[in-house]
Amino acid sequence: MACVGAVALAASTPAFAQDKEKDKPAAEAPKDEAIPAPRRSVTRHSGRFGGQAISYTATASETYLKADDGTPRASIFSISYVKDGKDPNRPVTFLFNGGPGSGSVWLHMGAFGPKRVAIPSDARDDGAPPYPIVDNPDSLLDVTDIVFIDPVGTGFSHALGKTDPKDFYGVTKDAESIAQFIRLWLNENGRWNAPKYLGGESYGTTRSAAVLDQLEGAYNDVGLNGVILISTVLDFAAGADTPGNEMSYILNVPSMAATALYHGKAQSAGGVEQFVEEARRWAIGPYAAALLQGNALAGEERAQVRRDLARFTGLSETFLEQADLRVLPSRFYKELLRDRGLTVGRLDSRYTGKDYDNAGEEPDNDPSFYGIDAGYTAAINAHARETLKFDTDRRYVTIGSVGPWDWRLGNGRDSDVYLNVAPYIGKGLRENAGLRVFVGQGYYDFATPFFAAEYALSRTGMPKDRIEYRYYGSGHMMYVRDEDRAKLSQDIRAFIRAR
């Protein structure tokens, strides 16, 4: 991932043009379009979650973020599920997805909402509609109320009036807006003293770290009980697939090992857990030492590294030598099953795809994304509009463009060239003795490799006794696999109860 700094250019207006504008009749002057009142729909439901019968209220609504002078700047769409009974001390969990540019549809309709879309669990394409929308007993509503948040530019959320959407497009800008929304939600719902959890998936874990800093990093803070990280990406520099960065190759090896084993390109008597542990130790040990030698690596030492890398990745020694022992994930997706005429997925390498031709360098597309997206898009629109009665003519943005994204942290100091939000997590743990972190990772995820998450959360200043790791036999969105959705729900339920 490359970080691009944006330069704003201010164009001056000639004096004669300004004078001409002053002379226009009032009727010709541009007028602000009226901003309508925020939409809101409240419905009541019941279901069985975690083995308990729960009656709850669903609120699908727009919340307006306002400037200091009261001018509405943005509309944040959220769907809140609150157990009936108005318990001010009941836990509440705020969830969002990633991208940046992704709505909360994935965690909502796939993992933790009271309804979910039932797509194939075994890494097959979701096909054509209709897609079953079913009760979700794995929802967390038995242990926590849930608020699904769509950041500006995602879902139904958008900038208002003359506000430039780019005012919200950036690590810090985005986090500020979500923190503002959370404070407003706590005000409206009388939940300031309730246990609070914050969670996200993918870039949503980046957002979680940045929002944690916004909520707890200053006076008048909002204390949190837990941060839930699902498919974690915090240290963007270490994981960047860019020439000269050896850490990226190191951190991808265990994911390659799991994938090679899954597709029968590697062998292990002990199963995936044992094989990826061997890959971890080898990658951070002999492989790291070899890569740091650069072009000085030669002879038998190079030959042994090449043999070991072939054993873990399932790729031929000839290919690995031609790649100088450094395999980009995009090449791995194409090369691993080239002899079968198949590619493997990026979000979930259990999925396979068929390209236009088999001679290319990289896959045409990601079969683990086009294999699920239609079902989720249909599900969130049907659920919000029909079940929750939210009336809008806006398009729900599941994955959209929110660029250019401002990747600078803080004030954009030189030190921020190394983009890493993990220190926000460390600071939060050091300064809040009651804060804990849950980390859920899929073995077959190349978008946010599990070894990269472990690396980011094991650096200096990171108290390790309150970070809990759980692993799943699927990929980036582990909940698409039925067994993993149930396990993820059980793991997070236990995490919340353990406070």
Does one domain contain both 322 and 410?
A: no
Does one domain contain both 342 and 468?
A: no
Residue 400's pLDDT is: 87
> 133-135 and 40-49 as β-strands: parallel, antiparallel, unpaired?
unpaired
Does one domain contain both 82 and 192?
A: yes
Does one domain contain both 150 and 132?
A: yes
| Domain count along the chain | 2
Does one domain contain both 69 and 200?
A: yes
Residue 414's pLDDT is: 59
Residue 6 lies in a domain: no
Domain termination residue (choose one: 338, 366, 394): 366
Does one domain contain both 252 and 141?
A: no
Looking at the chain, how many residues does it have?
499
Q: Which residues lie below 8 Å from residue 435, measured CB to CB, with a gap of 6+?
A: 216, 223, 224, 225, 226, 227, 428, 429, 466
Residue 119's pLDDT is: 87
Residue 271 lies in a domain: yes
Does one domain contain both 256 and 137?
A: no
Residue 22 lies in a domain: no
Find the Cα–Cα–Cα–Cα dihedral 330, 333, 335, 340, rounded to 10°. -150
**Through-space distance between the first and last CA atoms of the chain, rounded to whole angstroms:** 36
Does one domain contain both 319 and 385?
A: no
Does one domain contain both 445 and 415?
A: yes
Residue 19's pLDDT is: 31
Amino acid at 82: V
Residue 460's pLDDT is: 94
Q: Nearest Cα to 445, choosing from 251, 196, 190, 171?
A: 251
Residue 33's pLDDT is: 64
Does one domain contain both 278 and 253?
A: yes
Q: What is the DSSP string of 114-136?
A: SEEE---SSS----SS---EEE-
Tokens describing residue 54: 């729960």
pLDDT < 50 regions, the chain: 1-32
Binning the chain into helix, strand and coil, the percentages to the nearest 5 are 40, 20, 45
Residue 458's pLDDT is: 97
Does one domain contain both 285 and 232?
A: no
The domain of 383 spans 40-237+372-497
| Alpha-carbon gap, residue 15 to 197, rounded angstroms | 54
Residue 73 lies in a domain: yes
Q: Which residues lie below 8 Å from residue 411, measured CB to CB, with a gap of 6+?
A: none
b/e map 173-182, b = 16+ CB within 10 Å: bbbbbbbbbb
Residue 1's pLDDT is: 40
Residue 8's pLDDT is: 31
**CATH code for position 492:** 3.40.50.1820
Tokens describing residue 228: 């839930």
Sign of CA dihedral 308, 314, 315, 317: positive
Domain termination residue (choose one: 328, 348, 366): 366
Domain termination residue (choose one: 334, 366, 398): 366
Residue 17 lies in a domain: no
Amino acid at 52: Q
Does one domain contain both 307 and 451?
A: no
Model pTM score = 0.91
